[in-house]
Amino acid sequence: MSHYDKSLVWFRRDLRNFDHAALHHALQSSRSVYCAFIFDKDILDPLLEHGTLDRRVAFLHASLIELDAALRAQGGGLIVRHARAETAIPALAAELGADAVFINHDYEPAAVVRDQAVAAALKKKGCALLSSKDQVIHEKSEVLSQMGKPMSVFTPYKNAWLKKFNLPSGGYDLSLLDAYDCTPKKSQFAAPPAGGIPTLAEMGFDACDLAAIHIQPGMRGAQTLLDDFLPRLLHYGVARDFPAVKGPSYLSVHLRFGTVSIRALARHAMQAIQAGTGGEGAAVWLSELVWRDFYFMILHHHPHVTECAFKADYDRIAWEEGKKADADFAAWCEGRTGYPLVDAAMHQLNQTGYMHNRLRMVTACFLIKDLGIDWRRGEAYFARQLNDFDLSANNGGWQWAASSGCDAQPYFRIFNPITQSEKFDADGKFIKRYLPQLAKLDRKQIHAPWLVPELLLRSAGITLGKDYPAPIVAHDEARKRTLERYAVVKK
């Protein structure tokens, strides 16, 4: 028997019509179900301050077109509005005569405030806001220490996370990852009112050729990547560290927008581990999925991390400021530091919106510990550029690099950009892809062009300062300054 006559499923970062907690619960408890998405002006308008081309909005738009088509094939469809979600959802619920609005939890501080405002507005009209866990496996306070406290160190968290799946007989209880059934009854989906999906141009954005940067949006794009990755899973543990190698899953943007189910990914990893077919790669991949939950948990319990250091002492550090720091920051953003691996990584980010995870660590550490620039400036730049930008993971990664976060690298661990380059891009294949002006340098020369004799540089068609910049900082000297800068955390 249905609890609700009409309900509304508000899609946000969960753009799929399968294994979807909110959609499942709406279908289970409602006679008739509407589906909606709001292009939230509170999110989009600030993006327009940085330009009218945004790969994420294009990805989102294309994914919505696919989702709408999938829902229409089931007798429904998406109601899509370009408005402030905080007011648009209560207005839409009233327009439709909905008794309940179903959503999946969002853990970001601004989203929590928004959802509270929506819930209050709906309550005044006698409409419930019902929220479910969907974008993580374990959330909030579901994984705690033996003392019942939230954890701040990853390994104990991971062990406790995995323990929840342990069967007495050994192996994993995969039933905890069962997919939500989202099959509608006949005529259960309500057809949306007239009006289609606003175009990118109508919202002030330019079209983006996602195919040119090898991005296939939507549920089909996610499935294509997953099908490609699973045969490579065995070697993921090693291959993922080398940016010139096809090692990662490349699913991060799909996880961000929910065109793939996190439960399905964890299930694939655990099945490979249990079957003995995934090798170390499956365990490493599962660990990466646990890291994702870990950072969501940290954001939930410690929302101050979006503004301040997780470890308060690290906010006493004096970062470089002024014209020199601004010039260094611009050089870092634009890939003009004179360190090839750093510059190639930044060119990859700027051109495609993607950056290899190893290089995220290298570039972040370079900005913080070679240039002495506040990690928050780098975090904000990544937030604007990354297709897969997720507040919890981005913040967690930057605070890890700055040594100010939970379970972060020690402050005295300072990546050497040259040795990182020699180790993870030994032949310079990745560097040459994004810095073709260095293509004639051999595998020994390419990691530090300024150390190459001038005659050899000329024979390779390179003049430092013209074809490629000289280093803007000397790493050994920067390392000493960083140790001095971080001395305040020891006092």
3-state secondary structure 337-397: CCCHHHHHHHHHHHHHCCCCHHHHHHHHHHHHHHCCCCHHHHHHHHHHHCCCCCHHHHHHH
DSSP secondary structure letters along 256-312:
HHTSS-HHHHHHHHHHHHHHT-SHHHHHHHHHHHHHHHHHHHHHHH-GGGGTS-SSG
Q: Which residue is associated with the tokens 């090692």? A: 247
319 is catalytic: yes
The catalytically annotated residue of 161, 285, 332, 398 is: 398
The alpha carbon of 60 is separated from its chain's Cα centroid by a whole number of angstroms, namely 14
The catalytically annotated residue of 139, 319, 350, 422 is: 319
Are 277 and 235 a contacting pair, CB within 8 Å? no
Residues 211, 216, 217: CA angle, nearest 5 degrees: 125
The catalytically annotated residue of 108, 142, 357, 422 is: 357
Q: Which residue is associated with the tokens 């400021």? A: 321
332 is catalytic: no
The alpha carbon of 365 is separated from its chain's Cα centroid by a whole number of angstroms, namely 19
Closest CA to 359 of 379, 344, 378, 376: 344
The catalytically annotated residue of 288, 350, 416, 422 is: 288
139 is catalytic: no
User: CA-CA distance, 467 to 461, in Å (whole number)?
Assistant: 8
10 is catalytic: no
Output phi, psi for 234, to 5 deg.
-55, -35
List the structure tokens of 152.
Answer: 């701040």
375 is catalytic: yes
DSSP state of 31: E
DSSP state of 254: H
The catalytically annotated residue of 285, 375, 379, 387 is: 375
The catalytically annotated residue of 291, 332, 387, 400 is: 291
Residues carrying an active site annotation? 288, 291, 319, 357, 375, 398
